[in-house]
Chains A and B, each alone.
Chain A
Amino acid sequence: MSWKNSAQRWGGVSQSLHWLVVALILLQGPLGLLMVDMANSPDKIRAYALHKSIGLSILALAALRLGWRLHAGAPLPVAGTPGWQRAAAKVSHWLLYALLFAIPLSGWLFNSAAGFPLQWFGLFNLPPIAAADPGLREAALAIHRSLFWLLAAVALVHAAAAFHHHLFVGDATLARMLPRGWLRAPDSIDEESRNA
């Protein structure tokens, strides 16, 4: 597997970062939704601490992803994709990048305005990014929640589009974000393999 992105495929770095962030979001979303209703207890404190640690990890990975995307570029759109789908894909990809930053940062802002500590897996602390402020706290929490639901909606469309392309259009949209051979290789990848 090539680590760098080619014109046809996402390389190993982009793939690893993509699926790692997917896995973290699948943990983080339900954790966030469940922890808020817990009765005050050490377990609730640990759930919040884990949520903060995962959120900071996603933020760091988002920065890595953006840096790598700008450095390594992206494969060309899959041949035969209609123009409106290319445009929609482009908009939703950059929206997803933006949300990967905005959601953790709004959580950090909420945590700061509430005056809570911020620790990464018990290893080190990060400073507040705002002074304690009840009004800001409320606003940041509302933004944090709204952006999460926006992420859930956009990610759902993103995943649905990938499955649609794979199952019904039969192109390499999904296969090229996975290691070679994991999915039945559609035409374009076969061709690339023969050329390689």
Chain B
Amino acid sequence: MRSVLLFAAALLLATPAAAADWVQAPGSSLVFAGTYQGDTFSGHFPGFQTRLRFDPADLESARLEVDIPLAGVTTGNADYDDEMRGAAFFDVGRYARARYTAEDFRALEDGRYAADGVLELRGASQPVTLTFTWDDTGQPTLTGRATVDRLAFDIGAGMWADTSVIPAEIAISTRVVFRPAP
């Protein structure tokens, strides 16, 4: 019996990747922000889901997947939301979800990390780099930022491409708390 337990413990130790597989826990947020008429507007993507394989000692095997349903994207202002979900912007009727996938991770000099991933959004796939901090002193938490050029995804193309009205650069910030993957 004792040897079986030891064997099981040895197996667990031999597969460290399993200990670094995480899924998103409640209390996470995915937020976007930009400027509009000298003011900041912001919104969030409810219902996004994150899976992460991450071990600071083994960035080679790191992998991040974020699934982002778009139907509920909201700024909290009904006037903005109707336009934003419509055909000119997210076009949620045709493109129900966005997806961010990263497999190339780097450690930065200041202790942060960068993931060079790909964002699939509104029929386009473009590179997007997520810069983040990783805190596993308590419940593991990823706190990250990225900048997305909305025009690279035709979010507000045509007449809305006028960046004097809505800038091209949209700031993304996220805070994801994790629990071990089941």
A residues contacting B by CB (< 8 A) are 40-43, 45-46, 49, 114-119, 122, 124-125, 132
A134 CB to nearest B CB, Å: 8
Asked if A119 and B165 sit within 8 Å, CB to CB, the answer is no
Contact of B39 among A45, A46, A114, A125 (CB under 8 A): A125
Interface-forming stretch among B14-22, B75-83, B95-103, B136-144?
Answer: B75-83
Asked if A117 and B79 sit within 8 Å, CB to CB, the answer is no
Asked if B162 and A117 sit within 8 Å, CB to CB, the answer is no
Asked if A114 and B38 sit within 8 Å, CB to CB, the answer is no
Asked if A49 and B37 sit within 8 Å, CB to CB, the answer is yes
Q: Which residue of A lies closest to B40 (CB)?
A: A117
In the complex, whether B9 has a CB less than 8 A from a CB of chain A is: no
Asked if A42 and B37 sit within 8 Å, CB to CB, the answer is no
- Additional A-B contact list (12), CB under 8 Å, known A43-B159, A45-B37, A46-B165: A40-B83, A42-B159, A42-B165, A45-B165, A49-B37, A115-B76, A116-B37, A117-B37, A117-B41, A118-B37, A122-B38, A132-B76
Instruction: Specify which chain B residues have a CB less than 8 angstroms from the CB of A114 in the assembled complex.
Output: 77, 79
Contact status of A125 and B79, CB under 8 A, knowing A42-B159, A42-B160, A42-B162:
no
B54 CB to nearest A CB, Å: 38
Task: Give Cα A114–Cα B39 distance, bound, in whole angstroms.
Answer: 14
Residues of chain B at interface, number, CB under 8 A: 13
Instruction: Specify which chain A residues have a CB less than 8 angstroms from the CB of B159 in the assembled complex.
Output: 41-43
- A and B contact pairs by CB, cutoff 8 A, 23 listed: A40-B83, A42-B159, A42-B160, A42-B162, A42-B165, A45-B37, A46-B165, A49-B37, A114-B77, A115-B76, A115-B77, A116-B37, A116-B79, A117-B37, A117-B38, A117-B39, A117-B41, A118-B37, A119-B39, A124-B38, A125-B38, A125-B39, A132-B76
Instruction: Specify which chain A residues have a CB less than 8 angstroms from the CB of B41 in the assembled complex.
Output: 117
Task: Give Cα A49–Cα B36 distance, bound, in whole angstroms.
Answer: 11
Instruction: Specify which chain B residues have a CB less than 8 angstroms from the CB of A45 in the assembled complex.
Output: 37, 165
Q: Which residue of A lies closest to B83 (CB)?
A: A40
A132 CB to nearest B CB, Å: 8
Asked if B37 and A119 sit within 8 Å, CB to CB, the answer is yes
B53 CB to nearest A CB, Å: 40
Instruction: Specify which chain B residues have a CB less than 8 angstroms from the CB of A117 in the assembled complex.
Output: 36-39, 41
Instruction: Specify which chain B residues have a CB less than 8 angstroms from the CB of A42 in the assembled complex.
Output: 159-160, 162, 165
Task: Give Cα A118–Cα B77 distance, bound, in whole angstroms.
Answer: 15
Task: Give Cα A40–Cα B80 distance, bound, in whole angstroms.
Answer: 11
